[in-house]
């Protein structure tokens, strides 16, 4: 008996949200075990006193492997990691990682997988990702990473997306008083990208808001001319999604307050203790609108992270609620800004549906969901596709792992096939409409919004 035809078979996908390119030659390269370990840190953080955990992660981040191992032993971290590994085995993440490894490497003994995947990355990172794309029917990806080496990762297949967050916090952040190391890690990455952009522009941090704004726009213009196809806001990891339009005089005051308060240069590692939180928010809010207005004129779509975050605490789920974006989305000057709310916004997926239903410029992607959730992907796709017009939903993986790309794409195709099949059975859609929807979701909507060809 042959398998029934599927709606997505042979339809090329474009991955709307990827992190392909994070692994580059010369960098410290890890195998797939790294993802399991990363997830385990949430379990560790929840079982070790806060100060001890911070001290341990400080050693890890400084590259002091010996010190970290010694302290880790004293804190019982190896046992906590082992326990987390076992508890993780029933998650979709574990299943997807296994599926992706099998599809890419064939039958490999579990204890050898980490080394096999590490070696494959070392040997030919682009070739490995290319293979994952080929096997999953993915034509290209939009990739969000701090920097991408155009010569290593060809832009026709790996189209870069620039985060705007590094530009929003030129003076760093008020002291981090929360749990975990995830939010401080984002701050450091934002800071490094800003330093790099200043360096590329041949300038130190400008001393006035006006000069700084000029630098930001010039930097974005340059990146656009280099092939960046869109922008991303990942700020939910470090602040609220409530961006409020803030006028120039208020922003200028905030700039003055922050530059006077910054008594020592922000080093990208420690947050500054005496930054005024209100000024910090006012300046970032102002800059976000400046950049969004530039994006309207430059026809640069903007992806926005909504909903939950990583397995370690940091992101506040309550302030990552996409409804907080109503100030930004509702701004008359931004009514033609192409916005894509990404990650399915879990647990706010229905809030996304409503926002997209009410704003013709708002689109949704379900990246991340395919390798974290199984039944939920189907439920979300059902809701989105039956209520929203056909031009609003996009597929994405949200991974820098070739194994996860492959598994996520195949899982997303299966979920989409199921939803389209049951829609046809329920006489919601004709077979022709189901075929059309498969194309729209897998690549056509993205091509239209970004103005790119398949
Ligand atoms: Zn992502």
CA distances from 17 to 192, 208, 451 (A): 22, 35, 16
Alpha helices in 201-266 (DSSP H): 209-225, 248-261
Q: For residue range 122-145, what is the model confidence (pLDDT) as tens digits?
A: 999 999 999 999 999 999 999 998
Mean pLDDT of the chain: 93
- CA dihedral 6→7→9→11, nearest 10 degrees, is 180
Q: DSSP 3-state assignment of 14?
A: strand
Evaluate the omega torsion of the peptide bond into residue 313 and state whether it is cis, within 30 degrees of 0.
Answer: no
Determine the distance separating the centroid of ligand 1 and the alpha carbon of 17, expressed in angstroms: 6
CA–CA gap between residue 57 and residue 61 (Å, rounded): 6
Packing angle of the helix pair 92-105, 33-45 (nearest 10 deg): 160
Residue 324's pLDDT band (cuts 50, 70, 90): very high
Q: Is the pLDDT assigned to residue 225 strictly greater than 70?
A: yes
What is the pLDDT, as a whole number, of residue 185? Answer: 87
Please indicate whether residue 1 or residue 146 has the higher confidence score (pLDDT). Answer: 146
Q: Are 251 and 290 in contact (CB under 8 A)?
A: no
* Chain position carrying tokens 């034509």: 139
Per-position b or e across 369-390, b if 16+ CB within 10 A of its CB: bbbbbbebbbebbbebbeebee
Taking only the tens place, the pLDDT of each residue in 73-82 is 999 999 999 9
> Is the predicted pLDDT of residue 273 greater than 80, yes or no?
no
Nearest to 173 by CA among 88, 258, 255: 258
Q: Out of 139-143, 152-156, 387-391, 409-413, which region has the weakest mean confidence (pLDDT)?
A: 152-156
C-alpha 126/C-alpha 124 separation (Å) is 6
Dist. CA 160 → ligand 1 center (Å): 13
Centre of ligand 1 from the C-alpha of residue 63, in Å:
25
368 CA to centre of ligand 1 in angstroms: 7
| Dist. CA 326–CA 329, nearest whole Å | 5
More reliable by pLDDT, 345 or 25: 345
Ligand 1 centroid distance, CA of 310 (Å)? 10
Find the range with the poorest average confidence among 95-104, 171-180, 309-318, 375-384.
Answer: 171-180
Work out the average pLDDT over 258-278: 66
Q: 401 CA to middle of ligand 1, Å? A: 12
For residue 374, pLDDT over 80 is answered with yes
Does residue 271 surpass a pLDDT of 60?
no
Phi, psi of 313 (to 5 degrees): -65, 155
* Cα-based angle 128, 130, 133 (whole degrees, multiple of 5): 115
- Give yes or no for residue 193 having a pLDDT over 80: yes
When mean pLDDT is compared across 41-45, 145-149, 340-344, 407-411, the lowest value belongs to: 145-149
- CA 334/CA 295 separation, integer angstroms: 9
Q: Both tokens of residue 234?
A: 């990942």
Distance 427 CA to ligand 1 centre (A): 35
Q: Is the pLDDT of residue 56 over 90?
A: yes
Q: Supply the DSSP string of 299-318, one letter for each residue.
A: T--EEEE-S---SSS-S-GG
Query: How remote is the CA of residue 162 from the centroid of ligand 1, in Å?
Result: 12
pTM over 0.85: yes
Separation of alpha carbons 190 and 443, rounded Å? 30
Percent of the chain with pLDDT over 90: 84
């Amino acid at each position: 008996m042959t398998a029934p035809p599927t709606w997505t078979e042979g339809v090329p996908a474009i991955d709307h949200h990827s992190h392909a390119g994070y692994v580059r030659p010369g960098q410290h390269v890890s195998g797939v075990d790294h993802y399991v370990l990363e997830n385990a840190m949430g379990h560790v953080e929840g079982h070790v006193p806060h100060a001890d955990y911070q001290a341990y992660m400080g050693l890890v981040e400084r590259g002091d492997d010996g010190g970290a191992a010694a302290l880790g032993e004293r804190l019982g971290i190896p046992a906590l990691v082992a326990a987390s590994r076992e508890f993780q085995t029933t998650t979709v993440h574990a299943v997807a990682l296994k599926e992706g490894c099998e599809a890419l490497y064939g039958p490999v003994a579990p204890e050898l997988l980490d080394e096999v995947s590490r070696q494959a990355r070392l040997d030919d990172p682009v070739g490995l990702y290319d293979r994952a794309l080929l096997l999953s029917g993915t034509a290209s990806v939009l990739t969000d990473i701090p920097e991408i080496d155009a010569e290593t990762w060809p832009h026709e297949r790996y189209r870069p997306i620039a985060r705007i967050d590094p530009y929003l916090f030129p003076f760093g952040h008020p002291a981090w008083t929360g749990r975990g190391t995830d939010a401080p890690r984002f701050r450091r990455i934002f800071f490094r990208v800003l330093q790099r952009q200043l360096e590329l522009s041949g300038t130190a941090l400008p001393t006035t808001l006006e000069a700084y704004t000029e630098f930001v726009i010039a930097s974005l213009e340059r990146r656009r001319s280099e092939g960046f196809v869109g922008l991303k806001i990942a700020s939910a990891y470090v602040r609220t999604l409530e961006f409020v339009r803030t006028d120039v005089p208020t922003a200028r005051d905030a700039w003055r307050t922050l530059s006077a308060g910054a008594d020592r240069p922000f080093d990208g590692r420690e947050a500054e203790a005496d930054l005024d939180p209100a000024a910090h928010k006012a300046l970032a809010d102002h800059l976000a609108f400046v950049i969004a207005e530039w994006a309207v004129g430059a026809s640069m779509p903007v992806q926005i992270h909504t909903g939950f975050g990583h397995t370690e605490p940091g992101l506040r789920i309550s302030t990552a609620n996409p409804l907080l974006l109503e100030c930004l989305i509702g701004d008359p000057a931004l009514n033609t800004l192409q916005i894509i709310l990404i990650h399915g916004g879990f647990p706010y997926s229905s809030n996304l549906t409503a926002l997209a239903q009410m704003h013709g410029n708002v689109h949704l992607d379900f990246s991340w969901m395919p390798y974290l959730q199984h039944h939920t992907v189907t439920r979300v796709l059902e809701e989105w596709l039956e209520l929203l017009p056909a031009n609003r939903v996009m597929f994405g993986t949200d991974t820098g792992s070739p194994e996860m790309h492959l598994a996520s794409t195949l899982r997303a195709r299966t979920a989409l096939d199921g939803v389209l099949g049951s829609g046809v059975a329920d006489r919601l859609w004709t077979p022709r409409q189901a075929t059309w929807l498969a194309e729209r979701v897998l690549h056509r909507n993205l091509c239209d919004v970004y103005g790119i060809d398949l």
